[in-house]
Chain A
């Protein structure tokens, strides 16, 4: 895993009254243990990848409590785990990245929510929305509404988050309904503190197993039970949930001086709203503000009585609801209409329809709202100017810079095994013309960014090949689909490989086999060399593909650019019809470096022979055309000032981040670029053979060079005129 939490997980053992310091996801884990869960699971993906990492690192602590951990192969399997809570009084929690993970889990979720639960069931949703998000921008809120699940959106401080996890399980049990808790990106990574409680075991768990199976047809998601379940959802579970929310004060009303107006806001945007009001002179540092607020830590279901009593007597209320459509705003309008309360509801008329609600956005929206609502006691004549000054800070800074700062998109890491595959594809494009490439989710999606700009569609995780099914028969050239080993196990084996074979489609699939779910932080996959316990799972991508009946399959080391080009050329031109699979094999370089570097350092310290490889460019031979960078884009392949007094343009340069993977040299060689690349192997702690051989070589070469060495003075350096 990318990040080890082995030290931090010790804080999961804290007991009553002790102070916990740490990250949001670690706090959630602690809250799960304080709630007495019997099972946890999930599928990695930002921003909750670390939650899964924490669970793995905490497996010892959890097993003492009898908690089972399942690292699932996809969100569908994670959602299905919650089925344990239908018939049995088992509390459990699963986690994934949303919206995409929720989409994948949808089938199991619908069945789960129809049946309803006995033990508390919770889904921790990493809401990958706004700046830093890596996926399509949609709301998870719709799933909560259509499947009748409850959605928690707590204020982003650790005490509230922990409390809402604990209360969430009680709410789930009180209303026999699964609960989703959404945590935004910044909240998942927030560092803070809270007062801990003791952990506790579930009623039943690995330590106290269930003895009898329970049969209840009424709890099966199967007709005719489903008809009764639909009624039960809206008639019983919903009202029980509303009662629990009110009885336990899960939503908060905070009074303010300007009594004729108010804000109804999602808990998750509370801190941002507080800061925006402080900046306008309407709030202070400890959470007080002039505008009264109804803070929804539970955003679904709404409690009509709460909305009515908050709005009654106010002339205008602003709903601060991030994302679209504005489900909460719609519901509030309906609630007030039915209660004949004529408070004007503002929302998306003052705030943007789409996008993240950052401080500047709310600041601007509050000014618009107060301007429209004109609260009687408002005394902030300077408010508009304050907002303008803050928003102008941007314009003034940008004007000074003069625009045009080079963007810095993410890219393949130094030494990444996936880069050379796209280099090979690009070299081949120059020879054969470009063909359609169905891209996929994973690190390889970086190929869609400069300098490769490759990939014509992205349809979802593991969907690369499936999305080619209708392109291939309509495209002049044979099309190529990309899939990582992560996407392959997530669903590509079924939706892509099996479906293509079943339909006898003529297509090329490149499987990037780097051994991990790398983009999310190197979680193990079924085909990883080892699993989280250190055992070899012995589930190979190749065997799975062969097992389905693929005839044309080649495994190529990604660093062998020439062979990769040749294999791709064959796949594109062979007369053989059907699915052609190329397994592009190369271990994730970050993971490999993390393993090999300490090993090399140990050997070096112990005086053992270590060979260090890196690449370089002769600055006198390089003419600065940069074709090498356009074909590789390696971060360690950069520029340096041209030392040649006759040239101005910078030369290409390999910096010290180079890990010696050799792709730059291989690509330059395969694409016939230039002879400026060299590979240097330095032997540290050489043995006597190394030393003697080196001395001999140096002597002979010095003798051959004799005259030149004597004649040539060292080259001098001076600043350019």
Chain B
């Protein structure tokens, strides 16, 4: 049966549960029906309505009902691969999912998608950076669609104080795919009777966007916040002694360490970096420069107090919560230092016995000082302010000594490795990434670093283990430590490396 008569027009909307994809669907149906067309929509809310991925499906027919007689077209309730005229996605990965499912095909599909990201739980819960790369999706979307309207409509909605749905409706109307005029869609917004003014504003923005036929650029690199306070003499030394390529990192590092402790401390930073720089390995020097600065500006209670009362922080909080400078705001901080954190600012002579005692009695996991401090009240501010003032005392504290020791030891190993294996040195440098967070998280990270050191780095440098692929082994162990908070994966990886290594040594001996 060959069929030259008009065919149904198919529209698939991909959205996240709770986003109001139903509202957009109703607007489209209302617009089509008010223009005298048949419109059928359906959805599968199910459990996906709770923030999961879901879809809405609409079919219409180009012939007006008035010209149809008694027969009605049979409209499908299912979208089919290769059979979609208009694909709408409220988010980039959902657009990717549509492409993956075959709902975007070059012969007929117009794709309208907002390119912002709403991160899925798997992306959000990784210990490092689990974000899905946007590039391939944008590329695939552009290549699979007959026509593509790709832009960050969410950002436009936010900037203009309207909704994503309203803007999307505008783009849908302006795309010209559906057999109803632009006015019919605007009328649908009026017909619903909710937030008419702002929705019509969003609709107009969408229409304009459709005319632009926007194709999104790749996301801009992340905006970085550099410290502005200059730190004179040490900074001059950094500029004089280190190459241009390191300057952004070094100036930021020096300023941060002056703020953290003192110009002398920042000078110590440059002293420590100098031998690494002398290896002539610029990539290594840059990574060490970054991690050394982070490690040296470690976040003890004094540092956290300092960050919490900084004037910049106040400005950021106000912007974040959308409050004006004169709006009365009460900010409550959640502190819960444990024995480790408190001992960290005591002198070693006191800290050591307390730590030993609490370790034996398992107090370390149980004894905490839970504090809810209002940093915007005079009383609360004073407490944090006084804590920040303890900065002068820090060099005498137990934590300071421990950390300086750990840093020197890490640097020593890097320099040692750099003599023979540049790749290994770099991987060891990157292991500093493991030491982050607070309390238990920090202890776990430090323990992971030590484990990798005793089980791979030291044996390799001490030549009791084959040095072949040592850099890969360290990289694998680091990745394992960062992908499993329980440490089980790190253990398994280290065991696998240990069983593989002796064989490598033997086969080398045989040669």
Contacts and interface: CB of A to CB of B under 8 A. Distances in A.
B147 interface: no
Contact of A717 (B8, B16, B224, B327): B224
Interface string A665-689: 1001100111101111111101000
A185 B143 contact: no
Contacts of B46: 46-47, 128, 132-134, 185
Nearest to A711: B229
A413 B18 contact: yes
Nearest to B438: A674
B338 interface: yes
A368 to B, nearest CB: 17
Contacts of B137: 401, 405
A16 interface: no
Interface stretch (A57-65, A143-151, A538-546, A647-655): A647-655
A643 interface: yes
Interface residues of B, number: 140
Q: State which size class the interface on A falls in.
A: 35 or more
Contact of B128 (A392, A624, A718): A624
A395 B101 CA distance: 8
B82 interface: yes
A675 B61 contact: no
A635 B293 CA distance: 33
A412 interface: yes
Contacts of B507: none
A187 B57 CA distance: 12
Nearest to B445: A625
Contacts of B33: 21
Given A271-B76, A275-B83, A668 B334 contact: yes
B307 interface: yes
A639 B126 CA distance: 11
A393 B224 contact: no
B30 to A, nearest CB: 9
A128 B45 CA distance: 11
A130 B129 CA distance: 34
A312 B65 CA distance: 38
Contact of A279 (B80, B97, B376, B441): B80
Interface string B10-24: 000000111000000
Given A393-B82, A623-B436, A408 B16 contact: yes
B321 to A, nearest CB: 5
Interface in A579-628: 614, 616, 618-621, 623-627
B293 A408 contact: no
A411 B51 contact: yes
B74 interface: yes
A558 B377 CA distance: 29
A639 B124 contact: yes
A272 interface: yes
Nearest to B6: A285
Given A393-B81, A646-B253, A718 B228 contact: no
Contacts of B326: 694
Interface stretch (A188-196, A204-212, A471-479, A509-517): A188-196
A531 interface: no
A400 B99 contact: yes
Interface string A501-519: 0000000000000000001
Contact of B381 (A290, A391, A620, A701): A701
A713 interface: yes
A645 interface: yes
A285 B5 contact: yes
Interface stretch (A163-171, A332-340, A443-451): A443-451
Contacts of B42: 186-187, 189-191
Given A405-B132, A704-B385, A281 B3 contact: yes
A625 B42 CA distance: 41
B184 interface: no
A446 B48 CA distance: 10
A715 B320 CA distance: 16
Contacts of B275: none
Contact of B123 (A290, A639, A715): A639
A286 interface: yes
A409 interface: yes
A709 interface: yes
A673 B332 contact: no
B96 interface: yes
A401 B140 contact: yes
Interface in B300-356: 304, 307-313, 315-317, 320-323, 326-336, 338
B438 A690 contact: no
A343 interface: no
B491 interface: no
A272 B78 contact: yes
A644 interface: yes
A716 B228 contact: yes
A409 B222 contact: no
A282 B224 contact: no
Contacts of A157: 72, 74-75
B121 interface: yes
A625 B437 contact: yes
B223 A714 contact: no
A674 B443 CA distance: 13
Given A401-B96, A641-B222, A716-B225, A616 B320 contact: yes
A700 B312 CA distance: 17
Nearest to A709: B311
A284 interface: yes
Interface in B202-237: 220-229
A288 B97 CA distance: 33
A20 interface: no
B76 A359 contact: yes
Interface string A134-175: 100000000000000000000011000000000000000000
A646 B441 contact: no
B441 A674 contact: yes
Contacts of A449: 121
Contact of B131 (A408, A625, A650): A650
Nearest to B328: A694
Given A288-B1, A650-B131, A681-B330, A412 B44 contact: no
Contact of B122 (A396, A450, A715, A720): A450
A186 B329 contact: no
A286 B65 CA distance: 13
A189 B312 contact: no
A265 to B, nearest CB: 13
A259 to B, nearest CB: 14
Interface in B59-113: 61, 71-83, 93-94, 96-105
Contacts of A641: 222-223
Given A397-B100, A697-B377, A717-B225, A289 B1 contact: yes
28 contacts: A184-B77, A186-B78, A187-B42, A278-B3, A285-B5, A390-B80, A390-B82, A391-B81, A394-B101, A395-B102, A397-B98, A401-B96, A401-B99, A402-B136, A408-B16, A410-B52, A450-B121, A450-B122, A614-B321, A616-B317, A627-B441, A633-B121, A643-B222, A665-B334, A674-B441, A679-B332, A704-B382, A709-B311
Given A189-B41, A397-B101, A669-B336, 19 more contacts: A187-B42, A190-B77, A275-B80, A275-B83, A358-B80, A389-B82, A392-B102, A408-B94, A411-B121, A446-B50, A625-B441, A642-B222, A645-B252, A672-B439, A681-B332, A704-B385, A712-B310, A715-B226, A720-B222
**Those 4 A-B pairs whose CB atoms lie nearest each other, nearest first:** A132-B44, A410-B52, A641-B222, A394-B102
Interface of A: 21, 46-47, 128, 131-134, 156-157, 184-187, 189-193, 257, 270-272, 274-276, 278-279, 281-290, 358-360, 363, 389-398, 400-413, 431, 443, 446, 449-451, 519, 614, 616, 618-621, 623-627, 629-630, 633, 635, 637-639, 641-650, 654, 656, 665, 668-669, 672-675, 677-684, 686, 690-691, 693-694, 696-697, 700-701, 704-705, 708-709, 711-721
